[in-house]
Amino acid sequence: MKKMIAVGLWMAGALLSGSPNEHGEAKSSAQASAASSKDDQASIDQSVALIRRDLRSSKKQTIAASLQLSEAEATKFWPLYDRYTAELSKLGDQRYALIKEYATGFGTLTDDQALSLLKRSLSLDEQVAQLRSKYLPIVNQVLPGTKTATFFQMDRYINSLIDVQVAGAIPVVQEQSSR
């Protein structure tokens, strides 16, 4: 269950088998379970990495089609874009780790754990906004205002679509009982 939550949370509905590997070796059920769990997590992490790479590639293609850069603009812009994306990806790594932590504790989170996850998630949102603010003048040094605005509009639009899919795949922390 937790494995499937982790996959669904980040993949936003992408289909992954993630079924436990079957080994012909004789192991105790506890050892087999632990090994299977590690194999499952490694498989999930590998699938997530591939999907994230594909998403970054698709995003870059979409932005390229929207910007219509001259050769001189492209020469200056794409290295900046790659640096921006690398920094954004690091924040994505942190978000994925947070989602994995949430999946691990799903259904058993204490109030303190739930609030900690929420606060760290909000902090990541702020860091993304700060990253955009940091890169706004940098991008605007190599692109005119309309192309700078188009880039950040497309970046935000694509990331918002991904965020909506991820949010839709994340179950609520727990069913609320009347306390």
Q: Grade residue 44 by pLDDT with cuts at 50, 70 and 90.
A: confident
pLDDT attached to residue 142: 97
Mean pLDDT of the chain: 78
What type of residue is 17?
Answer: S
For residue 95, count CB atoms less than 10 angstroms from its CB and return exposed for 0-12, middle for 13-18, buried for 19 or more.
buried
pLDDT at 20 over 60: no
Domain boundaries, the chain: 2-13+30-169
pLDDT tens digits along 119-172: 999 999 999 999 999 999 999 999 999 999 999 999 999 988 888 888 777 777
CA dist., res. 56 & res. 2, Å (int)? 26
CA dist., res. 12 & res. 37, Å (int)? 21
- Number of alpha helices (DSSP H) and beta strands (DSSP E) in the chain: 5, 0
Question: What is the pTM assigned to this prediction?
Answer: 0.71
Among residues 167, 99, 154, 94, the alpha carbon closest in space to that of 126 is found at 94
**Region 66-73: what's the mean pLDDT?**
94
Check if the beta carbon of residue 56 is closer than 8 Å to that of residue 93: no
* 178 CA to centre of own chain: 33
Count of beta carbons in the 10 Å neighbourhood of residue 9: 22
CA dist., res. 87 & res. 134, Å (int)? 11
Count of beta carbons in the 10 Å neighbourhood of residue 55: 16
